[in-house]
Structure 1
Amino acid sequence: MKKRFMMFTLLATAFSDLKRQEQEAGIESDFMQAEA
């Protein structure tokens, strides 16, 4: 049971990291378009 919880926590952390990177990349591309 504990191992499964650890796995879930790891997945959730990885997922939120991915989302944050996606948002940062989106902001970056918006900035590049504004510069152009």
Structure 2
Amino acid sequence: MMGNRALLMNFMEKFLETVRFGNNDFAVIAGYGDVVI
């Protein structure tokens, strides 16, 4: 459970950081790849 939560937090940080720069498409693609892996 802790591992999943850490992965989710890492995903959210990457997603929010990318969106902040205005590259929404990349955020969705990169985030989806992280979740699948």
Judge same fold: TM > 0.5, yes or no.
yes
By relative contact order (CA 8 Å, sep 6+), the higher-ranking structure is 2
Dislocated runs of 4+, deviation >2 Å: none
Mark the runs of 5 or more structure 2 residues left unpaired by the alignment. 24-37
Question: Which structure has the larger Rg?
Answer: 1
Is residue 10 of structure 1 aligned with residue 10 of structure 2? yes
Instruction: Could you tell me which runs of 5 or more consecutive residues in structure 1 were left unpaired when the two chains were aligned.
Output: 24-36
With the length of structure 1 as denominator, give the TM-score of the two structures.
0.59
Identical pairs, percent: 13
Count how many residue pairs are aligned between Structure 1 and Structure 2.
Answer: 23
Map of 1:27 onto structure 2: none
* CA distance in structure 2 between the aligned counterparts of 1:3 and 1:21, rounded to whole angstroms: 28
